[in-house]
């Protein structure tokens, strides 16, 4: 059992209220004093906030909330998201990390959160992991104006949970956990969803078993958990006992793509007719990705989410007889699922996925296609893809993209769904 408790010096660093703090730094404002919200106010009061400043969090406003949920008595400024700015700031911070550790010992978890393995650097810097964390956080603030919190632990799990649950309580934003802290700090976490890796659905399943805290989960028979949840059950038990064998080096090998997916939240109600335009535009994006990576799909998934007034929706998939990267074929499958399951309710979300990916090997034909037509389609698709790569996504669009219900041209101006 001793070998399960690896002893490294891992830091998990998170940039506080990242998007909102970037906006404050650009404006010369103090995010701890200025109530600021990052949201696209052109979407109205239903717009979801991407971030709020600590000044608003201290008034009880969570990071992710719709504008109409913010109490009317709270005054705040709304600024639109600027993804280019956030990516640039994130790169600045990553370059600071790389001043302290090599790329092999850095794992970029998200745009505002990273893991650093500093085990082999402490002797060189002649500092403890805690002292080095203090120096790194001060450097980030001095060079970028951004503040951060840091969790330190003997493995990635405990570093992350220390950061999530305790670091923000301290003035310097640093919390260090050891294996000795597990009973007092890890096992007392409740509700379960406050633990990294446990979502609302798993929390509900565990509550059914009368498990309400991490301590109760740690003392549950692991074979029973395995019977109930499979391999995930064993991982839950390990994490509840502070066990995590993953190393930052494990994340350096890129996994093979298992599926491509694309979803879009619509900012007005669509019906079964005008949503077909959105479907066609989304499929064009997915099919271009398939062709660019020389992949083909054999499983098409399609789903709709309905307006909040009616809620609900559906998601279904169809396995193809032969793989494809054809926009036309994927669109036809999506329309088939739409016609079969759509029940005339207002639509606010569209989701499409391409799974069962295989490497492309020549033109795929079925008995009902002519090779001339298929080759002509391949040439047209290749020509369109090359033009978009060279001159930009909006350099060539379908005439339908000029229609009122189209979102393609506007989406092509964005990064990650937000304006540059």
Catalytic residue positions, numbered: 113
Those residues whose C-beta lies under 8 Å from the C-beta of residue 111, and which sit 6 or more positions away, are 18, 86, 87, 90
Sign of the torsion angle spanned by Cα atoms 383, 385, 391, 397: positive
Those residues whose C-beta lies under 8 Å from the C-beta of residue 118, and which sit 6 or more positions away, are 9, 10, 11, 100, 101, 105, 129, 132
Phi, psi of 346 (to 5 degrees): -65, 130
Structure-token pair, residue 286: 């997915």
DSSP string, 223-266: HHHHHHHTHHHHHHHHHHTT-----GGGGGSPPPP-EEEEEEEE
What distance lies between CA 338 and its chain's CA centroid? 27
For 66, 180, 346, the CA distances from 71, given in Å and listed in that order, are 11, 42, 28
Exposed e or buried b per residue across 22-40, where buried means at least 16 C-beta atoms within 10 angstroms of its C-beta: bbbbeeebebeebbbbbbb
320, 299 contact by CB (below 8 A): yes
Helix and strand numbers, DSSP H then E, in the chain? 14, 15
Those residues whose C-beta lies under 8 Å from the C-beta of residue 72, and which sit 6 or more positions away, are none
Picking from 143, 43, 190, 174, the residue whose alpha carbon sits closest to that of residue 198 is 190
- Give CA–CA dist 240/287, Å, rounded: 42
Q: Which stretches of 96-218 are assigned E, i.e. beta strand?
A: 106-110, 113-117, 148-153, 174-176
CA dihedral 336, 338, 344, 347 (to 10 degrees): -160
- What is the radius of gyration, based on Cα positions, of the chain? 25
Q: Is 145 helix (H, G, I), strand (E, B) or coil?
A: coil
């Amino acid at each position: 059992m001793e070998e399960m408790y690896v002893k490294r010096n891992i830091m998990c660093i998170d940039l506080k209220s990242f998007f909102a703090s970037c906006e404050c730094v650009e404006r010369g404002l103090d995010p701890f004093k200025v109530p600021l919200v990052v949201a696209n106010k052109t979407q109205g009061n239903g717009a979801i906030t991407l971030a709020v400043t600590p000044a608003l969090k201290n008034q009880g406003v969570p990071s992710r909330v719709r504008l109409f949920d913010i109490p009317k008595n709270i005054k705040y400024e709304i600024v639109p998201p600027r993804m280019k700015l956030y990516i640039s700031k994130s790169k600045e911070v990553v370059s600071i990390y790389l001043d302290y550790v090599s790329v092999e010992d850095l794992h970029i978890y998200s745009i505002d959160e990273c893991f650093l393995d500093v085990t082999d650097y402490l002797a060189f810097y002649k500092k403890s992991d805690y002292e080095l964390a203090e120096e790194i956080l001060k450097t980030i603030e001095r060079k970028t104006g951004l503040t951060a919190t840091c969790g330190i632990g003997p493995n990635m799990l405990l570093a992350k949970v220390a950061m999530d649950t305790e670091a923000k309580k301290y003035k310097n934003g640093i919390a260090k956990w050891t294996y000795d802290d597990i009973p007092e700090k890890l096992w007392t976490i409740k509700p379960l969803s406050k633990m990294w890796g446990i979502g609302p659905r798993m929390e509900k399943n565990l509550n059914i078993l009368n498990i309400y805290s991490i301590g109760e989960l740690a003392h549950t028979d692991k074979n029973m958990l395995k019977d109930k949840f499979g391999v995930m059950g064993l991982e839950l038990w390990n994490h509840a006992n502070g066990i995590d064998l993953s190393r930052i080096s494990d994340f350096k090998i890129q996994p093979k793509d298992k599926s491509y997916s694309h979803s879009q939240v619509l900012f007005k109600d669509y019906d079964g007719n005008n949503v077909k335009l959105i479907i066609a535009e989304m499929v064009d994006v997915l099919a271009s990705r398939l062709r660019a990576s020389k992949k083909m799909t054999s499983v098409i998934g399609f789903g709709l989410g309905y307006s909040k007034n009616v809620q609900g929706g559906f998601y279904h998939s169809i396995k193809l007889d032969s793989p494809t990267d054809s926009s036309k074929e994927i669109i036809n499958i999506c329309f088939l699922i739409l016609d079969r399951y759509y029940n005339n309710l207002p639509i606010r979300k569209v989701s499409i996925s391409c799974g069962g990916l295989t490497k492309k090997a020549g033109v795929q034909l079925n008995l009902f296609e002519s090779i001339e037509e298929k080759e002509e389609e391949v040439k047209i698709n290749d020509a369109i893809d090359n033009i978009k790569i060279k001159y930009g996504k909006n350099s060539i669009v379908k005439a339908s993209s000029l229609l009122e219900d189209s979102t393609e041209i506007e989406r092509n101006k964005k990064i990650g769904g937000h304006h540059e």
